[in-house]
Structure 1
Amino acid sequence: MVIDDSARSGMPTEGPSATAEIAAYDFERSATLSREHARALELAFETFSRQWAAELSAKIRVRATVTVEYVTMQSYGEYAQSLPTTTALVVCALPDSSERMIVQFPTSAATAWIVQMVGGRPVGATEERTFTPIEQALIGSLMTDVIALLTGTMDGLLPQGVTIAGIQYNSQFAQVAADNEPVIVAQLTMRLSGRSVPTSVMLPASILSAFASTAPADRSANPELVRRQVEETPIEVSLRLSPRTMLPREVLGLAVGDIVPLPHAADRPLLLLVGDQPIATAAVGTAGARLACVVTTTIPDPSTVSVPASEESV
């Protein structure tokens, strides 16, 4: 006889045969973004999206907004299959590397940008087509600024000197990486003039190796650094005599020149303290023309000595 766990615990089930959903593990996509890497990339792309929207709005004189839909790691083959057959793929070359990155957007959206840049007004959605030489030059100028923004917001993950290697128009033929090579894909949505334009940025997964050099080191994990910091931190020490209890009327009656005797014997050592913790006993001495103290004994465990809170410092 099989006893249902829900019946044993008294919890109702959602149906006659309620079962937990099990997500199948895809061994072909074993590489994924860690939570730390994913969050850092999302923050970088959110900053890039705001800056790109502001710059594009200034150049085409139309308010544009860019939002990040998701950032994920997938194979280049999956990324290429998700793109429209005809689209603008700005292929960028990384310095001293054979790897490439891509900034993708519809060609119809790009031609509308150009019309607005020269003072015109686009009429409806245009067809997806290749750019003319003049359009390609204008788009290249726009993308140069976009690449500079992306490099800056990646905070060292992308090297300086990324250049445009060319513009491709067929997502199936633009083989900038092997189909099974992992890449980082940021899916963006651009909204302007009442139209939503899907765009994307593809980066090689090798940029994640730069996290080790850009992430701040955990200095607290090094005991030597902690010990050195404690040893070199300046602290204040004080000498204290035995306290005396006085009545309020005695305190109010004090005048200049009055002598207040303290119940501290001349042969009794003083306490040397750091804050409220005694660390040693000392006797009064001199160092040249300056008053000083001579340490007589040290206290190995300061917690074993109690100091009245009413003691006075001298």
Structure 2
Amino acid sequence: MADILTQSEIDSLLAAITSGEMSANELKEEEDKKKVKLYDFKRALRFSKDQLRGLSRIHDNYSRMLTTYLSAQLRTFVKIEVAAVEQLPYEEFIRSIPTTTILNVFSAPPLEGRMVMEVNPKIAFGMIDRLMGGIGVEAEPQNRSLTEIEALIMERIFRRTLDFFRDAWKGVAAIEPQLDFLETNPQFMQIVSPNETVAVISLNTEIGETSGMINLCLPHVVIEDILPKLTAHHMLSNKKSGNTSDRVAVKKRLKRARLPITVELGTCHITLKELTELSAGDVIPLDQAADAPLVVKLGKRPKFLAQAGTVKGRLAVQIQETIDEEDDEDERQ
């Protein structure tokens, strides 16, 4: 795809042609010349565009889950959305993050290897301040390691976020993410070789009045086995099959659901005075004959007509007729 010129570049080009500094023929000759595109072997492109789009869709869902969870935990306005999905060497990713930051290193069996969630210190300390009763805005810029209490708080939060990471990926692969350790110095975190290509998903995060970035670093070597499943065709077909299996599971659960069944022998109306004066041996006349069919109710809804009887010495009813839904509605009206 050709580069898109900015408005200022277009204006400069038109001015050069108008003044005679450049002719249209020269411009055409330059266009016809074979262009050579530089390729950096240290920055190998190992993720296809379709796979990057698949990662974007997965983490769009993940960001929505995080928004809901953190809003409930911090009890303040939270907005998280995918800002960018790109691939670059691991060394470049390490150089791009602050020298002191919050690094959640986690693994996701059965995948082999480790991944990283990097949380900007501004966001991390804002979350801690909010959880400790503050307003969620740090008084002074923090440039230090976490204390033991702060580390425990962060671990508790981010262990839960990995559950949502698992849910976001369940349409592609069944993984069980688990937090391995927290680190604050990127130089001490060498999970893959410096030239290994990684996918970096940047999440723009707003918590109250604080904003910053959360970056997910997924090495190519770790997720290589499941990359073929990130295509749009595979994810769409998997979604359809998932919907079918969900319907089957719901059907099975509904079949196992328990409903109370009651048999109505008849009804009558008495006054409160008569009710309080009832005693053992009193007879209450019902508005239904002894040989009339009995109404069988599922919950509070009439469903069948039945005949009373006994089976092996126990009281029972025999279903004789099903009450139509229309007849039931007419009776209630």
User: Same fold, TM exceeding 0.5?
Assistant: yes
The corresponding residue for 2:325 is: none
SS at match of 1:127: coil
From 181, 205, 210, give the equivalent of 1:166.
181
Deviation at 1:145, TM superposition (A): 1.2
SS at match of 1:176: coil
How many pairs were matched up? Answer: 206
The corresponding residue for 2:148 is: 133
The corresponding residue for 1:189 is: 204
Equivalent-residue separation in structure 2 for 1:140 and 1:180 (angstroms): 29
Matching of residue 66 in structure 1 with residue 80 in structure 2: yes
The corresponding residue for 1:44 is: 58
Aligned partners of 2:55 and 2:85 also within 8 Å:
yes
From 149, 159, 170, give the equivalent of 1:155.
170
Q: TM (normalized to structure 1)?
A: 0.59
SS at match of 1:84: coil
Deviation at 1:213, TM superposition (A): 5.5
Aligned partners of 1:73 and 1:185 also within 8 Å:
yes
From 74, 90, 94, give the equivalent of 1:80.
94
CA deviation string 1:105-135 (max 9, x = no partner): 1234212212212322244343122111111
Aligned partners of 2:44 and 2:197 also within 8 Å:
no
From 108, 124, 130, give the equivalent of 1:116.
130
* Change in CA separation of 1:211 and 1:97 when aligned onto 2, cut-off 3 Å: closer
Aligned partners of 1:156 and 1:214 also within 8 Å:
no
From 182, 195, 207, give the equivalent of 2:223.
207
SS at match of 1:187: strand
Equivalent-residue separation in structure 2 for 1:80 and 1:214 (angstroms): 25
The corresponding residue for 1:5 is: none
What amino acid is the match of 1:129?
R
RMSD: 2.5
Deviation at 1:88, TM superposition (A): 0.6
Aligned partners of 2:203 and 2:214 also within 8 Å:
yes
Equivalent-residue separation in structure 2 for 1:202 and 1:109 (angstroms): 18
* Change in CA separation of 1:193 and 1:22 when aligned onto 2, cut-off 3 Å: farther
From 104, 112, 134, give the equivalent of 2:118.
104
Aligned partners of 1:69 and 1:188 also within 8 Å:
yes
CA deviation string 1:247-281 (max 9, x = no partner): xxxxxxxxxxxxxxxxxxxxxxxxxxxxxxxxxxx
Structure with greater Cα Rg: 1
Which sections of structure 1, spanning at least 5 residues, go unmatched? 1-12, 219-314
Aligned partners of 1:91 and 1:164 also within 8 Å:
yes
Q: TM (normalized to structure 2)?
A: 0.56
The corresponding residue for 1:90 is: 104
SS at match of 1:86: coil
The corresponding residue for 2:38 is: 24
